Amino acid sequence: MTDDLLGRHRAVLPDWLALYYEEPLEITHGEGRHVWDAHGNRYLDFFGGILTTMTAHALPEITKAVSEQAGRIIHSSTLYLNRPMVELAERIAQLSGIPDARVFFTTSGTEANDTALLLATTYRRSNTILAMRNSYHGRSFSSVGITGNSGWSPTSLSPLQTLYVHGGVRTRGPYAALSDGEFIAACVEDLEDLLGHTRPPAALIAEPIQGVGGFTSPPDGLYAAFREVLNERGILWIADEVQTGWGRTGEHFWGWQAHGRNGPPDLMTFAKGIGNGMSIGGVVARSEIMNCLDSNSISTFGGTQITMAAGLANLNYLVEHDLQGNARRVGGLLIERLRAAAAQVPAVREVRGRGLMIGIEVTKPGTDEADPKAATAVLEAAREGGLLLGKGGGHNTSCLRVAPPLSLNVAEAEEGAAILENALRSIR
């Protein structure tokens, strides 16, 4: 029984382990872009396990690869040669655009960002990090310390000194009224001013599109402009691609490519979608950065054979079926459909995003004041209509997050948009 499961959950798991919905949902199985709950109700999944079920639920190519690998060997650690790990690393190194790239696999995006911070601070001999306001980079001690979103940062203690930079949110803050060019110039000027008051930082870490922050982003080219400032001072750029990678934005395979005028990042982190639900994260970096550690290190579970088999099958499917192109085409239709629907709802401040990464910000009508209760009401109403969404945002979690599997078809996009339109119209 779901009610009994909820009681058991509350008895043994932390109070801060959040659950969606007034009556929490137990998802028992999925297929394609749909999932089913313990009562047999079917839902169109527009959140994909927090942008993790990237291709589809129960994709035969992936389940077959996992099953076959499990029949051979599941795990051996990084102390032994591992063919699937080498093969996936070769593919990712080539796709990354980073010259002479090295890849280290972890089990999550949090651990990937932890590793990138270790590499950058060791390479640069500095524990100062530049991060973006409204950012999110994980739940470990070091990644919480560089998260610029108070709702996800439970402590001010940190092994790092973090300095927060303007630019991650285009339509809020002191530069919101500027043109895109003026916005970029103002953010660069702010960065230069900040660097004049501190010891040289190790790196800037930035999500090309902020995920937990509500799918906000700067104008294209901001991070390219930042790179010119950083490169003059030898400061590294870490692109956090945990949510933006693998073609989700449609226009590019990686989010950083919208800011690629000055080449790829020095380090790039990834996770979530590459495993399609299996636990894979990792870091890609130039060899001299990756190899800067002067002590031993291994990973017990990073790169384990069964997750690497899943990652290879998933990446092959994604590339062979041009899911990036599908995200661009179907995502473009979906965002226009949602913008048309939201134009009739005074509580929707903005519909933003690209590809299949779309945010709908809900505020009190006629104001910029966040309305998390209204956003929660839409989440509940969408569920009643058979649609699962996510939430996020740096202003009291008032942004609905739309991020379905990249294989979403036009009919499913229309179906989801219709459910979401009815849910938005229910706001009182």
Task: Give the CATH number, domain containing residue 163.
Answer: 3.40.640.10
Residues 314 and 329 in one domain: no
Distance CA 270, CA 293 (A): 20
Give me the residue label for tokens 């999550």. 108
178 Cβ neighbours under 8 A, 6+ residues apart: 186
Q: Give the chain's domain count.
A: 2
The pLDDT assigned to 262 comes to: 87
Taking only the tens of pLDDT, the chain with its 428 residues reads 456 999 999 999 999 999 999 999 999 999 999 999 999 999 999 999 999 999 999 999 999 999 999 999 999 999 999 999 999 999 999 999 999 999 999 999 999 999 999 999 999 999 999 999 999 999 999 999 999 998 889 998 899 999 999 999 999 999 999 999 999 999 999 999 999 999 999 999 999 999 999 999 999 999 999 999 999 999 999 999 999 999 999 999 999 999 988 899 999 999 999 999 999 999 999 999 999 999 999 999 999 999 999 999 999 999 999 999 999 999 999 999 999 999 999 999 999 999 999 999 999 998 999 999 999 999 999 999 999 999 999 867 799 999 999 999 999 999 999 999 999 999 87
Provide the token pair at 272: 């979530």
Give me the amino acid identity at 371.
D
C-alpha distances in angstroms, 29 versus 34, 56, 57, 194?
Answer: 9, 12, 8, 50
Whether 90 and 169 have beta carbons less than 8 Å apart is answered as no
Residue 67, pLDDT score: 98
Shared domain for 53 and 74, answered yes or no, is no
Neighbours of 15 (CB within 10 A): 6
Strand residue runs (E) in 220-330:
236-240, 267-270, 281-286
Q: What is the pLDDT of residue 123?
A: 98
User: What pLDDT does residue 260 have?
Assistant: 86
Beta strand 128-132 with 387-388 is: unpaired
Here the CATH number for the domain that contains residue 421 is 3.90.1150.10
The reply to whether 90 and 49 lie within a common domain is: no
Which residue, of 303, 320, 337, is where some domain finishes? 320
**305 lies in the same domain as 334:** no
- Under a CB-based contact definition with an 8 Å cutoff, are residues 158 and 147 in contact? no
Cα distance between residue 290 and residue 278, in whole Å: 24
Per DSSP (E only), the strands in 302-413 are: 348-354, 357-362, 387-388, 390-392, 399-402
The reply to whether 206 and 80 lie within a common domain is yes
Contacts of residue 83, defined as CB under 8 A and 6 or more positions apart, other chains included, come to none
| Boundary (domain end) residue, out of 320, 352, 368 | 320
Nearest 10 degrees: CA dihedral of 239, 402, 150, 141?
A: -50
Distance CA 228, CA 190 (A): 14
Together in a domain, 143 and 35: no
Instruction: Indicate the SS3 state at residue 282.
Output: strand
Whether residue 52 is found in the same domain as residue 187: no
Indicate if 195 and 326 belong to the same structural domain. no
The predicted model scores a pTM of 0.96
Q: Are residues 132 and 198 in the same domain?
A: yes
Q: Are residues 272 and 403 located together in one domain of the fold?
A: no
296 and 351 together in one domain: no
CB atoms within 10 A of CB 110: 20
Give residue 1's pLDDT.
43
Among 320, 339, 363, the domain-final residue is: 320
- CA distances (Å), 412 to each of 154, 267, 286, 292, in order? 38, 36, 41, 48
Which of 159, 240, 233 has its CA nearest to residue 202? 233
**400 pairs with which residues across the strands?**
360, 391
User: How many CA within 13 A on the CB side of residue 262?
Assistant: 17
Q: Position 251: which residue type?
A: E
To the nearest 10°, the Cα dihedral for 64, 67, 72, 76?
Answer: 110
CB-based contact 310:54 (threshold 8 Å): no
Q: 3-class SS at 357?
A: strand
- What is the structure's pLDDT at 2? 52
Instruction: Give kind and range of the element (H or E) at residue 51.
Output: helix 48-51
> Is residue 285 domain-shared with residue 379, that is, in the same domain?
no
Quote the domain boundaries for residue 234: 64-320
pLDDT score of 3: 65
Other Cβ atoms less than 10 A from the Cβ of 306: the count is: 20
